[in-house]
Amino acid sequence: MKTKGLIIALFAMFATSTTFAQTTQTGVLEERIAKLEESNSKWSKIVEKLPTISGYTFIRYQYNDAASQTNTFDIRRARLSLSGKPAKWFEYKIQLEFASSPKIMDAYAKFKIDPMFNVQVGQMKIPFSIENPLSPTSLEFIDNAKFIGAYLPTGGRDIGLQVSGGFFPQEKSGKDLIEYTVAVMNGNEINKKDDNTAKDFSGNLKFNICKNLMLQYSLYEGKMGEIHHDANNHKSMHGAGAWYNGDKFNIRSEYYHVDFQGIKGQSCYAQVAYNIKSKVYPAFRFDYIDHDLDLHNNSEFDYSVGINYVPAKFVGLQVNYTCKTFGDPSKHTVNNIAAQCFFKF
């Protein structure tokens, strides 16, 4: 009996010591995991504050049968961006262009003071029109609508100060019912100082009617070149447009009226794109511009058909055919074919 009791006592002591050891090991393991998670959390916060490097390149082919015939390949864009959000209330971006001659495209800092009031300073996109603020990688056609290239500075950018915000957040759409952007800028293209003592004013007002439908009004007022009391160097632009961006159909249209030094012009475009299996996007666009309404036969009408193939987020192929017709009967119709491949990272 004594031997049996001793065996039972030894077994109990072994079981107790084993359980204690297991408990101790489990505690040590949990402590190590907690320290590792804490370390990972610290590193994650550090990584979040580091700049993000991104970029994209556009390789284009063009052919047309105009009098000065074009048949060429070119590197249209080769851009590298450095951006970051080191704090909830602050973000920045620097974007460089290396195609043709190197230049700064974007260089700005944004202070997120309140959802209704944010301040941005530096070189940035001009807040005019629906299309201009869009990234080239998201456009349905190889070229912007004619108005953008004709009346906005190079790259649609300028240097200045901008404020923006929104009111009345909508739960269903995740957007504000009303959004605004107002900017005071040099009005003298990118990377250049102002060429007069006046400042240009630009702004837009958006109405997000529902999740997929947006209406917008844009305004631009400024001066061109040196200011003289006896010279008309005023430039004024007004624009209005609508954009329906649904799961299948993407429909956008805008109208612009311009007054440059007393010469009045107008432009408009309307386009529609259809999403096929999230990879193929056929599109059609009508694009009209008239630089001087007082002159007869000074207009141009472009009819474009395009196909976009985007097999992945980082690469895409676009093919466009455009038929250019003119109000002047002495000018012949021009046929233009363009293909463009882009990739981004």
* CATH at residue 264: 2.40.160.10
Residues 6+ apart with CB under 8 A from 211: 172, 173, 174, 175
Q: Where among 50, 74, 89 does a domain terminate?
A: 50
Residues 122 and 39 in one domain: no
d(CA 169, CA 142): 34
Residue 152 contacts by C-beta under 8 Å, 6 or more apart in sequence?
A: 126, 128, 129, 132
147 and 26 inside one domain: no
Residue 327 burial class via C-beta count within 10 angstroms: exposed 0-12, middle 13-18, buried 19 and up: middle
CB 166 within 8 A of CB 116: yes
CB 304 within 8 A of CB 320: yes
Same domain assignment for residues 44 and 188: no
Are both 222 and 111 inside the same structural domain?
A: yes
Q: Is 11 helix (H, G, I), strand (E, B) or coil?
A: helix
Residue that terminates a domain, selected from 14, 32, 50:
50
Same domain for 290 and 306?
Answer: yes
For 155, which DSSP code?
G
pLDDT of residue 300: 96
Give me the pLDDT at residue 1, please: 47
Q: Do residue 59 and residue 141 come from a single domain?
A: yes
Which pLDDT belongs to residue 20?
A: 47
State whether 36 and 131 are in the same domain.
Answer: no
d(CA 288, CA 324): 10
Name the amino acid, one letter, at 40: N
On whether both 98 and 231 belong to a single domain, the answer is yes
Partnered with residue 228 across adjacent β-strands are none
Q: Cα 26 from chain centroid? A: 51
pLDDT at 195: 84
Same domain for 279 and 137: yes
Task: For residue 31, give its domain range.
Answer: 1-50
Q: Which residues of the chain have pLDDT under 70?
A: 1-27, 36-46, 228-231
Residue 101 sits in the same domain as residue 20: no
Give the residue from 32, 50, 68 where a domain finishes: 50
Residue 7 shares a structural domain with residue 69: no
Q: Are 83 and 110 contacting, i.e. CB atoms less than 8 angstroms apart?
A: no
101 residue type, one letter: S
**Through-space distance between the first and last CA atoms of the chain, rounded to whole angstroms:** 80
Residue 107: CB atoms within 10 Å: 19
Whether residues 72 and 125 fall in one domain: yes
68-103 burial, b if ≥16 CB within 10 A, otherwise e? Answer: eeeeeeeebbbbbbbebbeeeeebbbbbbbeeeeee
Total number of domains constituting the chain: 2
